[in-house]
Structure 1
């Protein structure tokens, strides 16, 4: 006779807050564990034979990632990278499914919706991580809403649904003076960062890239930002020993912060959801390092 026992081990999140880049913590993935118990009776001429029991226990880990803004420049790169790693992907964006054909597009579950009004049951149930690329430029109120409030809503929804990890694509501060960082764009981003690190102190990730380059699609056209970003990144990295003394000057990073490939940002986000020791705030250099881990 064979009997099957199934049970779930769901991790709990610590409540203390930290903004450090690397810490050690228990695994943050949902783990489905199943035990198989097989019982058999030995066939002999004796009537008092004792049954024997064999227990087999195995751990199975699966990733189910929700990408907010998955149809955008950075979001689509993250979706593509996740699919390549065999991760189940759900994208939530107002525009829904991309119009251009690609094999990876077919493997993403595209949901059209707004984070302020979406039915979270459709996207967050069973998710192991949320990656938010929400952000934009506009009026002060618009920037506070999309960069800040929209992400705050998403963070709290993820927390309510028991999603163990949240990754936010934020922005480098470029060493700007405080009066420039008071704009709606930066205040919105920092508000979102604070919410991530508060609700996910030991599993929340904030990536702060500078200028992101790659092939960006706008209204059906492809803008090759990599033609400018890639050579500029190489030049700045080759001369960083000479320009380093200038880094303390206000707003110096507007010229000196190296651009980051959209593929590196995507791979760093993938590393964030797969590495349990990866949480906190990550700089441009740390984003590159995290991307290299996934490339290997």
Structure 2
């Protein structure tokens, strides 16, 4: 119980810290393939199958923030579906870490990596970078402590991208990775005043996504996770936990008792008690909104359950895997004790008894 309490305390600290960290820009993040020895299935890739006509009808997709943590996974999933993918980011290039040198990243050669500063570039530069997509997926987000920068990075930058994508009149879907409504509800009483710029920017981007498809809400999908985990490294800026740890927390907080507690608790406590989403699930939900049937768009995906359902991800098994690992290791200890330790102890006792009789 002490171990469980420690894990939950650490998780709560990560969740609260996520909203209080210093400013950062999305950085290139590696897409890590899980080895066969890994126990957690939450981060394993589960590709949905789409009708060929649906894919052909959405042949070109532009991903905003495609070099980032979520965006790069979106690009990889789209390539796997045979879609022409263009990534637009400030850096313009995908860079994997040295820890991924053994992973297959051939998909990166099938993405067009374009660089554009959506806040400073002129319209023609932005238009050239974004192209004429059938769908646009924005994973662009900025956090920090300057309200103006927050509003510009989350609002103005995304609005410029959505407006550009709409110019070709080919745009059929607009997808945006926003923020959980329960996090938004914390802004008045739980968060510093400068976060108003963050939430105002997010609201602007959501409105611009709708404008990009002429106000047709059936062509817009908003993906709203509380916290996104993934990869094999912990991080502080931005806050991030590994796939194994995140999967453990996701399964744990998906239990009925924690859902009940989250429902009745306020503010950031509620947020900390909500199950997080894997990066694969968030990316998969974005891809489904772009390539799926009409029911896949025109909705807001709030939280882990809805995001997992849309992406086709199975429930997390991190907690179950951890319990099985403990049982396995306990069994190994018992067997070792029976086969190695006890015989040696008995032999030593017998040796001592014989020596004492002499």
TM-score higher than 0.5 = yes
Q: 1:226 Cα shift?
A: 1.9
Task: Show structure 2 runs of 5+ residues with no match.
Answer: 1-52, 315-358
2:135 equivalent among 126, 129, 136: 129
Q: 1:198 Cα shift?
A: 4.2
The correspondence of residues 1-296 of structure 1 with structure 2, limited to 5 A, is 61-100=57-96, 102-116=105-119, 117=121, 119-138=125-144, 139-162=146-169, 163-174=171-182, 176-179=185-188, 180=191, 183-200=196-213, 201-215=217-231, 225-238=242-255, 240-241=256-257, 243-244=259-260, 246-251=262-267, 252-275=269-292, 276-277=294-295, 278-284=297-303, 285-292=305-312
* Structure 1 residues 70 and 177, CA gap change in structure 2 (3 angstroms): closer
User: 1 CA distance for matches of 2:66 and 2:298?
Assistant: 22
Q: 1:242 Cα shift?
A: 5.1
User: 2 CA distance for matches of 1:136 and 1:226?
Assistant: 23
User: 2 CA distance for matches of 1:283 and 1:273?
Assistant: 17
Cα pair 1:271 1:293 within 8 Å, conserved: no
User: 2 CA distance for matches of 1:62 and 1:259?
Assistant: 29
Cα pair 1:73 1:216 within 8 Å, conserved: no
User: 1 CA distance for matches of 2:56 and 2:157?
Assistant: 33
Task: Show structure 1 runs of 5+ residues with no match.
Answer: 1-30, 32-58
TM-score (norm 2): 0.59
User: 2 CA distance for matches of 1:293 and 1:99?
Assistant: 26
User: 2 CA distance for matches of 1:216 and 1:131?
Assistant: 25
User: 2 CA distance for matches of 1:249 and 1:224?
Assistant: 24
The structure that is strand-richer by fraction is 1
Q: 1:165 Cα shift?
A: 1.4
* Structure 1 residues 93 and 268, CA gap change in structure 2 (3 angstroms): same
The structure that is helix-richer by fraction is 2
User: 2 CA distance for matches of 1:72 and 1:261?
Assistant: 15
User: 2 CA distance for matches of 1:62 and 1:95?
Assistant: 26
* Structure 1 residues 213 and 60, CA gap change in structure 2 (3 angstroms): closer
Q: 1:60 Cα shift?
A: 5.7
Over the aligned positions, Cα root-mean-square deviation in angstroms equals 2.8
TM-score (norm 1): 0.71
For the pair shown, the structure with the greater C-alpha radius of gyration is 2
User: 1 CA distance for matches of 2:148 and 2:71?
Assistant: 23
Cα pair 2:126 2:161 within 8 Å, conserved: no
Q: Higher mean Cα deviation, 243-252 or 128-137?
A: 243-252
Q: 1:75 Cα shift?
A: 0.6
Between the two proteins, the alignment pairs up a number of residues equal to: 234
